[in-house]
Amino acid sequence: MPLTAPPLSLYVHIPWCVKKCPYCDFNSHAVRDGIPQDAYVDALLADLDGDLADFGAASHGRPLASVFFGGGTPSLFSPASIGRILDGAERRLGFAPGIEITLEANPGTIEHGRFDGYRSAGVNRVSFGVQSFDDDKLRRLGRIHSADDAARAIGEARDAGIDNLNLDLMYALPTQDLDGALADVERALALAPEHLSHYQLTLEPNTLFASRPPPLPDSDAAWDMQEHCQQRLAEAGYAQYEVSAYARPGRRAAHNLNYWRFGDYLGIGAGAHGKLTDAAAGTITRRAKQRTPRAYLEHAATARRIASDTSLASADLPFEYMMNALRLVDGVPRADFAARTGLDDTALADALGEATARGWISRDEAVLRTTDEGQRLLNDVIGLFLPEREHA
């Protein structure tokens, strides 16, 4: 089957934050001696030029459908720096009509008036890392903001005319009970965001919480929190469309949807990851950049900025595709698998047959979609598509 080039997005990684949170396993680095903003913007644009040269025709003539500034804490960068990055990306690739441009923001790092500058620079969506509206829980999580700081920052974004906001909320926090989880959701709903990311706190390897676990609710309590919060969000008009994502009508995250639908994205910045389809050559490549800011800044204009390039093998593509697509509650058109991977539908046949027989995937000839039970057992469902199972 011929490959079809999917939509193209851009991920920009800003690796610095004020302090490292004890639960965080992202590539983030606490600020110690200031941030070299100008040098880093220069490096990002040099990195982008390198990727465009390396991928050649596969990356040309494909305007960006979305841009996402993630971190770290992108709101540590000035509006002028964000604007210079966006201007450089638009000159090199062009922006599709209605492009979504998201900036992650820590409510504790926002200076008064900055959102006016971000909006003027082109940002039209802001994602706030709120996590909780309980000040005790925020302290336990190592966050630098308070509940009042979060409400104030969200208000300033609204005042600046940004009408597309996401709030990140966690549940199953240290010592949290069901009432506390629901109280966080109510505080979030009172601020009327267009989108909510609601996900369970987990203990990730190589984090402070992993080495010194806090007192967390057990799995049954966490499940109760998920079910009750999900019900409350639905009552308030927020439809769940992905495992941890809820949105008002027409406000789903375009950038994240591109990931989940196995779209393409260039990744620039320290530790950034990208994926690019070369339809003419029939290849799909994943690329990662140097992880530390120092190494990245040193090599951003050279081939040494690349930490790894991996060409995805045909045997890996069913798992690569399904681990993203099956996160979507509504699933994906069945025909998209062939278009995005170049493989015939028969590559899914054995695993899909087993998942369907177990009641984990719906018997729908047009859409690949999990059942309610499949959503609850999602890791097990996705595991059926691992290539090594073919040889077990």
**153-190 per-position pLDDT tens digit:** 999 999 999 999 999 999 999 999 999 999 999 999 99
**6-32 per-position pLDDT tens digit:** 999 999 999 999 888 988 888 898 888
Looking at residues 66-81, what average pLDDT do you find?
Answer: 96
Residue 113: CB atoms within 10 A of its CB come to: 11
169 closest CA partner among 149, 203, 193, 152: 193
The domain 315-391 is classified under which CATH number: 3.30.200.20, 1.10.10.10, 3.30.1300.10, 3.60.20.10?
A: 1.10.10.10
| Per-residue pLDDT at 10 | 98
Locate the domains of the chain by residue range: 8-258, 315-391
Instruction: Tell me if the domain spanning 8-258 has CATH number 3.90.226.10.
Output: no
Residue 50: pLDDT band by 50, 70, 90 thresholds? very high
Tell me the pTM.
0.95
Q: Which residue has the tokens 């639908």?
A: 261
67 closest CA partner among 93, 41, 47: 93
Do domains 8-258 and 315-391 share one topology? The answer is: no
Please state, rounded to an integer, the average pLDDT across all residues of the chain. Answer: 95
% of residues, the chain, pLDDT over 70: 99
| Per-residue pLDDT at 392 | 45
**198-224 per-position pLDDT tens digit:** 999 998 998 899 889 999 999 999 999
141 closest CA partner among 164, 112, 108, 113: 108
| Per-residue pLDDT at 8 | 98
| Per-residue pLDDT at 390 | 52
Compute CA distances 104 → 57, 109, 262, 320, whole Å: 31, 11, 22, 26
Q: Given a cut of 80, is residue 388 above it in pLDDT?
A: no
Give the separation between CA 30 and CA 274, rounded to whole angstroms. Answer: 24
| The token pair that represents 44 in the structure block | 């990002």
DSSP-assigned beta bridge partners for residue 332: 368
CB 319 within 8 A of CB 311: no
Looking at residues 270-274, what average pLDDT do you find?
Answer: 98
Q: Given a cut of 80, is residue 89 above it in pLDDT?
A: yes
Residue 315: pLDDT band by 50, 70, 90 thresholds? very high
Tell me the longest C-alpha to C-alpha distance in the chain: 59
CB 12 within 8 A of CB 70: yes
| Per-residue pLDDT at 391 | 42
Q: What 3 state SS string does the chain have?
A: CCCCCCCEEEEEEECEECCCCCCCCCCCEECCCCCCHHHHHHHHHHHHHHHHHHHHHHHCCCCEEEEEEEECCHHHCCHHHHHHHHHHHHHHHCEEEEEEEEEEECCCCCCCCHHHHHHHHCCCEEEEEEECCCHHHHHHCCCCCCHHHHHHHHHHHHHCCCCCEEEEEEECCCCCCHHHHHHHHHHHHHCCCCEEEEEECCCCCCCHHHHCCCCCCCHHHHHHHHHHHHHHHHHCCCEEEECCEEECCCCCCHHHHHHHCCCEEEEECCCCEEEEEECCCCEEEEEEECCCHHHHHHHCCCHHHEEEEEECCHHHHHHHHHHHHCCECCCEECHHHHHHHCCCHHHHHHHHHHHHHCCCECCCCCEECECHHHHHCHHHHHHCCCHHHHHC
Q: For the chain, give the number of residues.
A: 392
Compute CA distances 127 → 74, 123, 166, 180, 292, whole Å: 10, 11, 4, 22, 24
**278-302 per-position pLDDT tens digit:** 999 999 999 999 999 999 999 999 9
Residue 312: pLDDT band by 50, 70, 90 thresholds? very high
